Homo-oligomer: A and B are copies of this chain.
Amino acid sequence: MTDVVIAGIGQTPVGEHWEISLRDLALDAIQAAHKDSGGIKPQALFVGNMLAPNLSNQAHLGALIADYAGLTGIEAVTVEAAGASGGAALRQGYLAIASGMVDVALVVGVEKFTDKIGAEVDEAIATASDSDFEAVQGLTATAQAALLMKRYMHENNVPNDGFANFALTAHANGVANKNAMFQKAIKLETYHKAEMVSDPINMFDVAPNADGAAALVLTRRDLLPSDWKSPLVKIAGSAASSDTLALHDRKDMLYFDTCQLSAGRAMKQVGLTLDKIDFFEYHDAFSIYAALSLEAVGFAIKGKGWKLAVDNEISLKGKIPCATMGGMKARGFPGGAAGVYQAVEAVNQLRGQAGANQIAGATYGLIQSLGGPASTAVSHVLQRLD
């Protein structure tokens, strides 16, 4: 099979865009990616979105966005896997190119939280959990993550601020990201003083829901001119896995099976060992997710993911840099767009265009997009081709 490459990237700033509609957000990201690709015309559009049917009373985003972007006639579809919708849309775009049936695919992740406020947003997010067995009891996504975190702290003797460095690292990395929602570093003292959201999750253990859109242009390497601007970025590995929505159905709720399975499959496709991965964009919607992801993927042994943060090994100069552009914590969590933001940021790292946050000589990046507490995980290995 020929290489599937990312020939264009685009993103909007992440934040509360009260005045910008969902379709306009998507358009901004698409136009940026289109321009970055040198104007390649796509034949297919894959939209990653999580909540528009509930938050914006708008489904059928494939046709809607294709039309709005001036692409009427191309094939277009929405891909949904809760918080992993962005990663899943990237995976469908990848499969379409790999099939040989589509030459150029546009992947756009878009989320517009600010079409609703307050409890309506929590209710919408709860559709990602098991409606009949969890949401119906009033369990929100944050409360569910709090249960996980509490258990994790109990099992592994983690002190109250054992997770602080996940937030501190993300916020430190967000400073130089002009698209980040929060471009301000925080101190341990700030973490200590932070308001509790759902014990033990404080304000800095949960990523902010935010509006945003990011886009990718995918194509086959052999379709690009030989003098294409380098370095080009290849999708070297792509895999996904699913698990129960409800935590009570799992054998071990403190092990994210899907993180292991999807990353393992993607790494196997590349023929890589983890030590070759230069950075890891994990799905830090909650700091407990970050810790559990590090463990399941294999960067830490079980129960010790938080230690990587404590030891500063996830910082830009650490053993495995994570959330290199601020992650979901500081860049913001734009729902179904989050997985596409990860890819855009990883491409910037691999092109050597990550500015102050550049990982020197980055060749391989692992990105992982989660839906719910890793009920879905989609993993991609991106590789710089010189």
Contacts and interface: CB of A to CB of B under 8 A. Distances in A.
Interface in A97-133: 98-102, 123-124, 126-132
A209 interface: no
> Which of A66, A95, A98, A375 has the most chain B CB within a 10 Å cutoff?
A95
A67 to B, nearest CB: 5
A271 interface: no
A130 B75 CA distance: 18
Contacts of A357: none
A372 interface: yes
A147 interface: no
A240 interface: yes
A316 B294 CA distance: 60
Number of identical monomers bound together in the oligomeric complex: 2
A349 interface: no
A334 to B, nearest CB: 16
B66 A82 contact: no
Contacts of A53: 51, 53-54, 124, 127
A57 interface: yes
B73 A92 contact: no
Place the interface of chain A in its size category.
35 or more
A172 interface: no
A102 to B, nearest CB: 8
A81 B78 contact: yes
Interface in A262-310: 262
Contact of A75 (B56, B58, B64, B239): B239
A241 to B, nearest CB: 6
Contacts of A360: none
8 contacts: A1-B100, A51-B59, A53-B124, A63-B243, A63-B371, A73-B242, A74-B242, A96-B99
Interface of A: 1, 21, 23, 44-45, 50-51, 53-54, 56-64, 66-67, 71-82, 88, 91-92, 95-96, 98-102, 123-124, 126-132, 135, 238-245, 249, 257-258, 261-262, 371-372, 375-376, 378
